[in-house]
Structure formats: C-alpha cells, structure tokens
A and B are shown apart, each in its own frame.
Chain A
Amino acid sequence: MTTNSLPRTNFEPWRAWLLYGLLGLAVTVVLARLFSLTVLEFDLRMAQSDDNRTREISDPAPRGIIYDRNGNILARNVASYNVVITPASLPNDIADVQRIYRQLSQLTGVPVNSGTVEDAKLFAACVPGPGIAQLVELGASNSPYSPVPIQCNVSEETALLVREKAMDWPGVAVQVEPVRDYPTGYLTSDVIGFLGPIPAAQVEAYEARGFVARRDKVGYSGVEAYFQDILSGQNGQRVIEVDVAGQELRNLEPPISPVPGYNLNLTIDIRLQHAADARLRREIEGWNAYLGQMRISSGVIIAMNAKTGEILSMVSYPTYENNRLARFIPAYYYEQLVEDPRKPLLNQAVSGRYPPGSTFKIVTALGALNEGIVTPSTIVETPGVLVLTESFSPNDPGREQQYVDWIYNRGGVLNPGGFGSLDIRRCIAYSSNVCFYKLGGGYRSEIPNGLEIDRLEQYARALGYGEISGIELLGESPGLIPTRQWKRINRGENWSTGDTYIASVGQGYVDATPLQVLLSASVIANNGKFIKPTIVRDITDNEGRVIEYWENSDGTLTRTPADEDEESRRISPFTPFMHWDITVDPIIKGYICERGFCSETGIFKTVDPAAIRIVQEGMRRAVTDAELGTLYAVFNPVVNGVVRPVSYAPAGKTGSAEYCDNVAQANNRCQFGAWPSHSWTVAYAPYDDPEIVVVAFAYNGGEGASVAGPMVKLLMDAYFELKAIDLAEQGARP
C-alpha cells in the first residue's frame, strides 16, 4: 500500500506467513508431545527410570554341611579362588595395563591376547580360551565395575601371590567362591548325591523363593536332593542403587541377611562304608579279573542297624566321583556316566530292581507256616527233579514241566535224590527249591493246597516288598510283587500254576530292590517289627543345636507335624519309626485257597510269633548246619585245619536269582540250565539279639554263597571289630 515500505521489504507477505504457520505448528506438536510424555506417560517412564537405577542383589546363603554319624564331614563348602580383574579399577595408562596383563599372564598361564572379543563372547565364565585383554574388554563394555574372572580355581599359592601384588596390580584381585566339596568322594556319592544348576523348568519356582538361577545350585540326587530345602538355607537380599556402570552406590532398603542352611548328620558310619566299598570292589573286580571278562557288572552292599533302621553303610557299584561334578557338570563325564549300561549314576541299593531269588523263600516259608500249610514238624520230600503241571485255568489239562533243585546237578554230579526228607527249617537252611515249589503251589496229596500267589503277595508285602520303604533318598523303586490281575493287565495272560512255583522262589515276575531284601530279613530278625530304614540322624543349625523336623505323609518336611492323626514322623532328632508289627497289626488279607484258587475271607490276620521263630531257626541253621547249610562255609572258616565259627552268631539266607535280560540274551545264556544268576546274601547278627542286618548283591555273581556271602561276612566282621574299638575307646575315657 505504502510505497515507502516496498523498497525495504518487497517480499510477498504470504511467503513469510507460511513460514510463521509452519513454525507455530511445529512448536505446538513439540509441546503436545512433551506434555504427553511428561504428564500422561509419567508413571511408565518413572518406573523405567527406577528400573534403571535399582538392582536386587541376592547374597548367597552357605549350604549346610553333611556329616556321618561320628561327625566326619561328607560334604562341605570350600573356598575356591578365582583371579578376577575389575575393568574400572585398572590404571588409566595403557602401558601400565599391558604390564599387568603380561605379569599376570606369566603367573597364571592365561595368554594376554587370544582370539577376538567376539570370540570371547562365546565362552562361559571360567572356561579357558579367551585372552586376558579380550576378557577385560568384554567385561568393560558390559559393566566395568563387575569383576571379570580371568582364571578360576587357582591354587592357594597363586591366590596369595596375586594378593601380594595388590599394590602393583590395581584392578586385579582374588575372589573367593564357595564350591561344594566331598571329602569322601565316590565312597559316599550314591548317598550324598551331587549338585547342579537349577533346571530350566524349575527356574521360576526357585526364583520365587529367592534363588538365583545361574549362580545357586540345587541337589540332583541323594540326600543333597532329598534335603535340598533344608540344606540350602535362605539367600539374603539387598536392594541397591547403581549407576550406569553398575557401581553400587547405596542400599535403598534395609538388607536381609542370608540364613545359612541346616547341617545334616547321617546315620552312615564312614568306616563301615570304607569296608563295604573296599570289599565290594575287591570282590567284583577280583572276580572279573579272575574270569578275564566283565562278569559281575554291578553290586550293592547295605548294612542297617536291625533295631532302629539306621543305615550304617550303603554302597552301590559302579558309582561316580561327585567331586568331578562339583564346580560344573562336565559334559564328557556326564555323558560317560549316562551312557554306561551299568548306570553308575543310579543308586542300585534303592533303585535297582532284580529278582530276589532264594532270599524270597523267607516270605514263602513265613506264609506257609502262618497259613498252616506246613507245621514245624512237617516233613517235605525234596527229590532232585520235580515234575509239575503248568496250567492256566482249572480246566486246563496243562503240560508237565520239569522243575530242578539246585542240588540236582552240582559240578556235573547228578543227584536225583535231592535233599531227601526235610523239615521247614532245613528247607530254608539248604534253600531247597523243590520244597518251596511245593509250599508255594501245592503238590498232589502231599501238600494239597499251596500258598498260591494271592497269599504269597500278602506275606511279601508284610515283609516290605512291593512298596517303597520311605528312606530319605530319591528314586526309590517299589519293586514288583505280581498278582493275578497284574499279569492279566500287563501280560494279557492268565496266572499259571508255573508262575506260582517260580514266584515262590523269588523268580519270574518278582522284582525287588536290595534294600527290600534287607528289610524282609530285618522284619524276621525283629520278631515281626517292620522298622523304616533311615539315613538321617538329625538336623542341626549352624551352631550345632538340633532342629526338630517332621516328615509328613505327603513327603513334605516341616518343623512341626502337619498331619493330624499322628501320621507325621519325627526325623530329627532321630526316632526309630515302625511301619507295622506283623504279629500285632492285622495287615494280612485272609484268603481261603482250594485247588489252586483263592477267595478272600474278609478277615485280616496277624502273623503268629511262633512262625517267625521257625524262620529264624531256619536262617540260623543255614549258618550252623555243617552238612548242607548254604552259609556254613562262609561263616565257619577253616583256619589252620580248625573250623573257627565267627563270634557273632549270624543267621541268613542266600539267593542265586536266575535272570534273563538283554545282556544274557545276547550271550545266548537264556537256555534251560544255562541261565546266569545274580548272587544274593542277606544276614543278621547276632541271631538272638540282632544288631546289624546286611545284604550283599552282585549282578551276574553266580551262586549266592560264593560271591555275596563273603561280602556280608566281611562287613559283619568289620562292624563287630569297630564296635569293639568304640567300646574300648569309651571305656578308656574317664
């Protein structure tokens, strides 16, 4: 409009207005965005900011120590020294850093440079490979205030040298890390077990209880696993403020101190454990060397206090070295253990299932006596070969089959007369198969009605077969006591008379763990009382005070009994626990059997103490009968031409359990008369007031008396010797 404004700014005004508009719009957008972030998203962003600066730190609780019954340490925590570098504390001068690296490399042997930082990322902490410079560079880029392990588990000497150099080597330090140590190693590994990282599937459950997934370890087997919650303690917790480099600045909340795990005192006597292990190894490895082949692949010895159920020793061969799994589980070693067909990781004493063989005759004898099938004075004819009918139903005419006694063919000499006329005591002492075939399945008019599988099962269960015992170890197997129904379901076939015959001598479908065989003898030894086996004497806190603990019927461990009707049992301090007394508790289901078929009476019965006494006499006679007692030679050694019976008066039962598994089949051994057999012996002593009951088992060991018998004897020798030493020591004390 006005001419004098034109020469100054003769721009078109709309061009400027467009500029203003754009600017105004931009400022509005920026302000709106600012408002939305600061006001609308405040809570979210504040939480993220807090998340940045707060960190929860878990202080590890020391794991409980495991002792044997005399206070010897079986599992403990030892300091492991790691040489670490805190990147942020290294000197600023590169030459200084290089000097430290070089000197440290000379001391530890870790190269200064090896590979690239990218390579170093692929290595887990403590695994050798990357050079010092690469480890530090990687650590510095992640969090410069966290120590980077350069070398783990260095010797104490190296650790001291590094500490002395603290002034010259700023940033280099020694970190002490607790590592589980098992002074007794493989000797107790089957009982103690080992630790491993928290399994991925359980990480959440453990983290909810304050565990740290990649740091804390949990028990994988043995008592380490069974008492995991008691041993582990409770991790401490702190909430701290950190800066961007991860440097700890202050506690934001009052810290919670870690609660150490409780200690465990086991019933194991490490001296007896030594004896058992030495004997088992010597026997198995001796026989294998003698025969020039891997004949006996595995074996078990268990010794238990007969009255209280305390397990004094428990060895399972082959086993593993749990110290090799302590720091981390090496893949090659673990694979070696897992792929070994002999299953070294398994505690065969409670997890192995084998036919109990003749040791099972204890059950048949007790049942036959209690059901009145035989009386103590009945004489049973026991020829060397018995022809019996195998039939699957009352109407099945069946086919005849030969059943051979072990005496029939001894070293090529045929013995058609067998044992001749035996009473029940000698049936047990001589372990006559023919006698027990007759008792179990009946024989013509001589024994018109046998025990049959229905009643056999009842007595087997009464003596502890077919059910887990409740010992404080993981993976206990219930074994198997077959029934007619079981066979129909699992084999699709009727129970046959032949099944009964061979079940009567602990063969066929009958399966048991070495522990169950031990327990069956202990019930007899205890006059019918079935004492629960246990491995724990008591649980103490870190000041040695005994902590009361109860095991409830659902398997949980609590400080006070949780079950109402006195089902909970106190495991700490140790109190013997009786499952039942077969002479008092009516736990045996009554049956009436007629011509091989049984029907329930609906009445539950107890066992006559007299029947138990006869079985005891039979087992004692196995040791004392110089003629044919199966354990006579074992417990009555000839020294310089003179028979020297052992001083502790044992009673026992052997077993040679024929089996046919895939290994035997491959060797073409599954043929009549050529079957391989497991060697068993179970015995207790002294027979009139039993203190100890021992079972020995050797896989493919052959005859019970020749392989397992000597193991039992040696362990009993050791036990009574140790007892004498302990008594002498106690007597010596004022």
Chain B
Amino acid sequence: MTILVILGITMINSSIAGNIELTTTTPLVDRQIIFAVAGFVILLVMAAIDYRIWGALSLQLYIGIIVVLLALNIIGAALFGSARWFRTTLVFIQPSEFAKLVMILVMADYFAKRLHLMHDPKWTIRSFLMMMGITIWVILQPNLSTSIVLVVLWFVLVWIAGLPVKHLIGYALTGIAVLSISFPLLVEFEIIKEYQLGRITNFLTPVDPDDLTARYGDRYNIDQALVSIGSGGLFGQGYGQGPQVQLRFLKVRWSDFIFAATTHELGFIGAALVILLLAFIVYRCLWAARASPDAYGALICYGVATLIAFQALVNLGVNLNLMPATGLTLPFVSYGGSSLVANMIAIGLVESVIMRRKVIES
C-alpha cells in the first residue's frame, strides 16, 4: 500500500511535470491537480470499500452505464468531431473512461460465477453480447480506440476465465470472416471514418527519416514526436528546456504525446523510469490477482492490469511509431481528468482486493 501511495504521488508529480511544460493559458495544470487530489481521495475510499459490493451491484452498474452512454450519444456535446464528453459547469466528464471500469466489474462478476461453465460456448457468446451492449454505444460516439480497449478487456477476462483453446480458434476464424466481409461495408457506410483509415496508411507508409518536409502534413504529429524523443538523448534537454516542447513544435504534448515530451526533456533515463513505474503498477495488479481471496477479485485485478498495460503500451507504441496513431493516453501521466480518476478508482479496486487478502489469510 505504501509503495502504491509513493507511486501514486510520483505519477501525479510526473503528470504535473508533463503539464507544467505547457505554456498555454488554459489552467490544465490546476485542473489536473484537482483531479489528482480528488482521484486520490476516491482511491482511498475505493480501497476501503469491500470490492465484493460491486459484484452485487453488477446489474445496476451495467444498466447505469448504458443509460449514460445512450444519453451522451443523444445530447452529448460534439467536441473534436466525437461526442465523448459531458459538459458540466465545472468540468467535462468522459463517460467512456468509466465504461472501462464498469466493463471490468461486470465481466469479472459474470465470469467469476461461471468459471466452471466455460467449456460451454453459450456463456462465452452471452458474455460477448453483454460486452457489445456497452461497446456499441462507444463505437457510435465514435470512439474506436476506447471500444478496442473494451473488447480487449473482455477478451483477456474470457481468456483468464478459461476459454477453451479450440473454441478460441473457432471464434477467431469466425471473427476474421465476419470482419473481412463487413470491413468494406463499414468503410462504405462511414462507420469507420476516413481519418481512421488515414492514420493506418500513414503508419504503413515508409518514411525517409531525413525528410521532414511534411511540416504540416498528416505525418506532422508523429514525426515531431520521433524528433522530440530522439533529441532527448540519454539525459534529456533538461526540465523546461526542450525546444520541441517549449516552442510548441510537438503537438498535443500534454496528452497523447506526453511520453515524447517527457523523453525530450528527461531523456532515456526519465522515459525508462516512467515505463518501469508503469510496469511496476501492472506487476502489482497481477500480483494482487494471484493473492486475491476469490475469483471475482482476481478477475478485477487482471482486468485493471490489462486496462493499464494495454493503454500504456498502445500509447508508447504510438509515440515510438510502432503502431498507427490512436487516441489512447498514457495512464496516470497524460492530461485528462476522467481518465485519471477512472485509473485511480481501478487502482483503488486492486488495493481493496489486496486489503481483503490479509483478512482472509489471517
């Protein structure tokens, strides 16, 4: 627990560090501190609450989040081309961040109760439909990257819960078949948008590293991220000293590309530290899963580990140009109140599991 508190503070610090580098006038830093403090309080509260209570509230959570997402799709504010936020007087709330938590809790409860029935495809298919009940609204926002996270969460939990391998192969083949038929249709009816395809083609297009002529082109963001990371060197340009960040050549440096900004100013050492800290959190979640007193707690921990690990890896992959651009942020570090609070809650759940472990063992 103490380790995690220190870790949490480090995370907050580093997230603030990423934001102080901003020279913008909007109070991103203040907001992030408020969210961090609030998130930390919620974390402690969540840790104190017995996680098993969420299992009992599974149905309410499930229906609740669908109602919220549905409302968002109908009346939500259209920002940056997608209806992802609820505008309140104080802050924007991004319900899809919380949809991830609900997905973990609901699926963990579902599989924990059906651990011995996994050889029967009926339960797997039913869980898939349940998952889609949430995911479909996120896809329609449209928010493809979050929907992928939701699917991945479901898949990992199915896997841990003991999905037979031959079933998996069967589903995979069906999935490939369905996708290859439906993909052209999805593009045709603009369910997959052109910019989303563009990101993939941008990623697949080979780049000459000497050619930075596309100063304002589609590749600009990712090119500048690579320049920022590379010019960080071993020790970085120094905190608040990096020209890529200070002169604003790196775009969305406070959220999607915060890792590039951090590497630019703190170097390989700093960046590696961030990666290792994240890896440690994930490790702690996995450790909690094995120490969990029951299957429900374990599945929650696996889910949280997947949530953090998957988002972090995708974000790092984008920053390092290992995969196409997506909207996923770096957990704990990137700016984003809803995401920070959601991740804090997730850690709170894991802590709760760890605390209950002691009770049972003693």
- Listed in ascending order, the chain A residues whose CB lies under 8 Å from chain B are 7-12, 15-16, 19-20, 23, 26-27, 29-31, 33-35, 37-39, 41-42, 44-46, 48-53, 141-142, 241-245, 249
Contacts and interface: CB of A to CB of B under 8 A. Distances in A.
17 contacts: A8-B293, A9-B292, A12-B162, A19-B156, A20-B286, A26-B309, A27-B279, A30-B317, A30-B320, A35-B268, A38-B229, A42-B230, A44-B210, A45-B226, A51-B212, A52-B212, A244-B247
B247 A243 contact: yes
B209 A41 contact: yes
Nearest to B295: A9
Interface in B191-237: 209-210, 212, 216, 224, 226-234
A30 B230 contact: no
B286 A10 contact: no
B248 to A, nearest CB: 4
B244 A30 contact: no
Nearest to B306: A19
Contacts of A19: 156, 159-160, 286, 302
A42 to B, nearest CB: 5
B247 A48 contact: no
Contact of A42 (B115, B162, B233, B244): B233
Instruction: Point out which of A10, A26, A30 has the most chain B C-beta atoms below 10 A from its C-beta.
Output: A30
Given A15-B159, A38-B263, A38-B267, A29 B230 contact: no
Interface in B267-296: 267-268, 271-272, 275, 279, 282, 286, 289-290, 292-295
B187 interface: no
Nearest to B274: A34
- Interface of chain B: mostly helix, strand, loop or mixed: helix
Contact of B233 (A39, A141, A241): A39
Contacts of A249: 247
A244 B209 contact: no
A10 B114 CA distance: 12
B206 to A, nearest CB: 16
Contact of A245 (B230, B248, B302): B248
A35 B269 CA distance: 10
Given A19-B160, A20-B286, A52-B247, A31 B229 contact: no
Contact of A48 (B212, B248, B267, B309): B212
Contacts of B229: 34, 37-38, 45
Contact of A49 (B216, B243, B295, B302): B243
Interface of B: 115, 156, 159-162, 209-210, 212, 216, 224, 226-234, 243-244, 247-249, 263, 267-268, 271-272, 275, 279, 282, 286, 289-290, 292-295, 298, 302, 309, 313, 316-317, 320, 322
Given A19-B156, A53-B243, A244 B282 contact: no
Nearest to A30: B316
Contacts of A30: 275, 313, 316-317, 320, 322
A44 B216 CA distance: 20
A728 to B, nearest CB: 68
B227 A11 contact: no
A628 B256 CA distance: 100
A243 B245 CA distance: 10
A29 B317 CA distance: 9
Given A41-B230, A241-B247, 18 more contacts: A8-B292, A8-B293, A11-B298, A19-B156, A19-B160, A23-B309, A29-B322, A34-B229, A34-B268, A38-B229, A38-B263, A39-B233, A45-B226, A50-B243, A52-B212, A53-B249, A242-B247, A244-B249
B268 A33 contact: no
Nearest to A9: B298
A26 B249 CA distance: 29
A38 B115 contact: no
B271 A38 contact: yes
Contacts of B316: 30
A52 B227 contact: yes
B309 A8 contact: no
A46 B322 contact: no
B232 A16 contact: no
Contacts of B231: 42, 45-46, 48-49
Contacts of B228: 49
Contacts of A26: 309, 313
Contacts of A41: 209, 230
Contacts of B317: 30
A9 B159 contact: no
A386 to B, nearest CB: 77
Given A11-B298, A23-B309, A34 B271 contact: yes
A-B pairs, 6 with minimum CB distance? A45-B230, A49-B231, A243-B247, A38-B268, A244-B248, A45-B231
Nearest to A249: B247
Contacts of A141: 216
A23 B243 CA distance: 33
A37 B293 contact: no
A244 B115 CA distance: 56
B253 to A, nearest CB: 11
A47 to B, nearest CB: 8
Nearest to A243: B247
